[in-house]
Amino acid sequence: MTLSIQRIHPVVGTEVSGVSVGSNLDSGSFQQIYQAWLDGGGLLILRDQELSPEEHIAFSRRFGELDPLEGQTVMPYLLPGYPEIYRVSNKVKDGVKQGRQRAGTYWHSDNSHKEYAAKASLLHGIEVPPYGGDTLFAGMAAAYQALSGTMQRLLGGLRCIHDFEKAKSGSFKNETVTDRHLNATPAISHPLVRTHPETGAKCLYLNAGVVTHIEGMTAEESAPLLDFLYAHCTRPEFVYRHRWRRNDLLVWDNRCLMHYAVADYDGVGDRYMHRTTVWGDRPV
């Protein structure tokens, strides 16, 4: 097997094949893959990864320290014995959900409601439906670049409030969200334009699931600008749509991407995935 690294989209996405990341990937190959991740807009598509949970966790740790998910809202979906792995699935076995259903069906960046939001997420497609269940990725650096200088300067001075309370009645309305969960991550302000700590790229930073308003503005005042920005970032020019193959391992950079999981596969087939989450810096 020879390592092959290929860009597959002008904005987001690099496909990697001919390598098994579960075995002891040498540090030279890892460095090459990591650099391709940064250079290719923040999404790696690693094909044909037959990975045990231990291997998935070990590979994820090469990107940084993992966010321990114990005690968080996704607790019911952790893989038993592996608190670092969160299951996303539409499967139900003996009345028990095998993972969180319809996770991420809105444009978001993982864990942006936290002070130290997620750096990377690694999602392993263990079972995928024959069609449907695609995941979309929007390149937030390209979206920023395409704005006028005047708009860039205006946005550069703004911050957004990310509040998980919004998710309680929205994307998490079918989950248990307690006061303890909410108190653990009080509403936080993050810059609307963040600078990627490794590439230096300026990126829009938004999350439709938890952003309530622009700091210092009312929700009503914020809405037209936020609506424009969500529509702008998710224009087809900035979006890559991933059609899953079994044993794809996707690594996405939450610092420069938003993603959206299309929940269109009810009755089409089973989808079962394992996710790890790599802790990040405080957005600046």
Active-site residue flag, 110: yes
Q: Name the active-site residue from 87, 108, 162, 274.
A: 108
Q: Establish if 275 lies at the interface with ligand OGA (CB under 6 A).
A: yes
Specify the residue, 119 or 259, whose C-beta has the smaller distance to ligand OGA.
259
Active-site residue flag, 259: yes
The Cβ of residue 16 has, within 10 Å, a number of other Cβ atoms equal to 24
Q: Establish if 103 lies at the interface with ligand OGA (CB under 6 A).
A: yes
Q: Which residue is nearest to ligand OGA (CB)?
A: 104
Q: Which of 15, 67, 84, 110 binds ligand OGA (CB under 6 A)?
A: 110
C-alpha span between 284 and 263 (Å, rounded):
32
Asked if residue 192 lies in contact with residue 206, where contact means CB atoms within 8 angstroms, the answer is yes
Residue 35, H or E segment: helix 27-39
Residue 172: HSE in the Cβ half-sphere, 13 Å Cα cutoff: 20
Instruction: Select from 12-20, 41-49, 64-72, 102-110 the region that touches ligand OGA (CB under 6 A).
Output: 102-110
Active-site residue flag, 190: no
Question: Least CB distance from residue 260 to Mn ion, whole Å?
Answer: 9
Diameter of the chain measured on Cα atoms: 57
Partners of residue 195 on adjacent β-strands: 202
Q: Establish if 19 lies at the interface with ligand OGA (CB under 6 A).
A: no
Asked if residue 210 lies in contact with residue 226, where contact means CB atoms within 8 angstroms, the answer is no
List contacts with ligand OGA (CB under 6 A).
88, 103-104, 110, 121, 123, 135, 259, 261, 273, 275
| Active site (catalytic) residues | 108, 110, 259, 275
